Amino acid sequence: MGRPRKYDEDFRQRALERLKTCQDISALALELGVNRSQLYRFRNEALGRAPVPRSESWLREKSDQRQRRRIAELERVVARQALELDFFKGALLRIEENRRKRGQNSGKPSTSKSGT
């Protein structure tokens, strides 16, 4: 996860003014390019409320989410590699089969080996 962004006082004040009359906080957050929770933090700080620390369970949940996403990504990679492996195994079998057929059908080579 990246470093938390620092917002200047002017941005915070404009966000707080918009927040006062806002009907849809999620839409405002999207428009301003911040998380909805950040708008609530701005408001709580302006009202003099102590910031709410993130709980250990919240942090653990976020970590679990990241791990689940990573596992899903790795499972997709493994599945793709398994398909590629099956493809190349099949191609190799066909090549070997074609070589065997050519070896059985041809009696004497049309040219002699060099040096014999």
Which two structure tokens, joined as six digits, stand for 20?
A: 């006062």
Mean pLDDT of the chain: 85
Give the pLDDT score at 74: 98
- Between 106 and 20, residue with greater pLDDT: 20
Distances (CA, A) of 100 to 80, 95, 96, 106, 109: 31, 9, 6, 10, 15
Domain parsing of the chain, residue ranges: 1-52, 58-102
Q: Which pTM was predicted?
A: 0.40
Q: 19 pLDDT exceeds 60?
A: yes
Most confident among 13-22, 24-33, 35-44, 87-96 (mean pLDDT): 87-96
Distances (CA, A) of 44 to 38, 39, 75: 10, 9, 42
**Segment 46-76, tens digit of pLDDT:** 888 876 676 777 778 888 899 999 999 999 9
Say how many C-beta atoms besides its own lie within 10 A of residue 43's C-beta: 16
Pick the CATH number of 1-52 from 3.30.70, 1.10.3470, 1.10.287, 1.10.10: 1.10.10
